[in-house]
Amino acid sequence: MIKQFINNQTSKIVIILCAQLHLISVTGLICLILASCGHSPSPKKYTINPAKIETKNQLTAEQKQFIAEFLPKIRYENDLIRNDRKNVIEYLEDLHKSKDLSSKEKENLNSILQNYDMKPIQWNVKKESGRMVQRIDSLLYRVDIIPIKLVMAQAIIESGWGTSRFATEGNNYFGIHCFTKGCGMKPVGDPHSNFEVKVFSSVHDAIKTYLHILNTGYAYKNLRKIRANLRKQEEKPDPLELAKGLGQYSQIGDKYASIIGNVIEDYLPENIPALMEEKRD
């Protein structure tokens, strides 16, 4: 029975009553159960009607289709990061209140630390546990979204609107390199290059890797600093501001931010959230 899986009595009563009265679907019921057990439910999935996309500069039907298919995938991967960030902030708030974390929370926190290329906390070492708040503050520099317009603009630039060989054959929309033989595709005209262009199993995998690189890579430390400063001012991460931290992403250096800004201004819809429609299974 459902009762056996739920510890919180209030949640238990609400879920049972809603189920009996058919006020929530089976999927909704499962989400409530997961939430009550301390698990973040999977993000919602969205779709965009390409016909509703309006931009400053006119787009072809193919370009609108590319944007319509790509934006919801970016949102999904960013929402996974939002879930992680929400959990980390809750753990930090508990520690500030001098509350100890449960074994499951400690396990989850260490998992997030490792996912963002940071060492896990050794809870049984007094010196380590004493620096928990500092470690979590550092983690929050990494566990944060990349603005959807910035991601979309880079995908457009790096893949030529999704038409490049690396995009169509390898799901690589961001020009991500790898350095192990056979990890990707060799650039045409440069068979002796010391890198390959990485091949991904899916578009989602490519977006996830790109977000991870910006959130953990040393080259993008300034981007994360800009984002953290905006958070301190209680402002959302701004795509044009964060683009200033991408000087090392391209060989053209700081000029890259200007190109990203032009793409955002001229080729992306202004109000992307308004275009999103929840996908129904």
CATH number of the 44-281 domain: 1.10.530.10
Q: For residue 274, what is the DSSP state? A: G
Is 167:196 a contact under the CB 8 Å cutoff? Answer: no
User: What pLDDT digit, counting tens, does each position of 143-181 carry?
Assistant: 999 999 999 999 999 999 999 999 999 999 999 999 998
Convert the pLDDT of each residue in 185-235 to its tens digit: 988 877 778 899 999 999 999 999 999 999 999 999 999 999 999 999 999
Flag the least confident range among 59-63, 70-74, 133-137, 263-267: 133-137
Termini Cα distance of the chain: 26
Longest dimension (CA), the chain: 67
Is residue 1 predicted with pLDDT exceeding 70?
no
Q: What's the pLDDT at 39?
A: 56
Report the predicted TM-score, pTM, of the whole model to 2 decimal places: 0.85
What pLDDT shows up at residue 34?
A: 46
The tens digit of pLDDT for each residue in 81-111 reads 999 999 999 999 888 887 778 899 999 999 9
124 SS3 class: coil
Q: How many angstroms separate the CA atoms of 217 and 215, rounded?
A: 6
3-state secondary structure of 239: helix
Residue 19 has pLDDT above 60, yes or no: no
Percent of the chain surpassing pLDDT 90: 69
pLDDT digits (tens, 9 = 90+) for 236-275: 999 999 999 999 999 999 899 999 999 999 999 999 999 9
- Check residue 127 and give its pLDDT: 63
Each domain of the chain, given as residue ranges in start order, spans 2-41, 44-281
Element (H, E) at 250: none
Pairing mode, strands 177-178 and 196-198: antiparallel
Using a 10 angstrom Cβ sphere, with 0-12 exposed, 13-18 middle and 19 or more buried, the burial of residue 255 is exposed
Q: What is the pLDDT of residue 130?
A: 61
Which is more confidently placed, 193 or 41? 193
Task: Give the span between the Cα atoms of 154 and 184, in whole angstroms.
Answer: 20
User: What residue type is assigned to position 201 of the chain?
Assistant: S
Structure confidence at residue 140 (pLDDT): 96
**Residue with more model confidence, 32 or 234:** 234
Q: 247, 253 in Cβ contact below 8 A?
A: yes
Query: Which residue(s) pair with 36 in the sheet?
Result: none
Do strands 277-278 and 46-47 pair parallel, antiparallel, or not at all (unpaired)?
antiparallel
The helix (H) or strand (E) run that includes residue 184 is: strand 184-185
> Above 60 in pLDDT, residue 31?
no
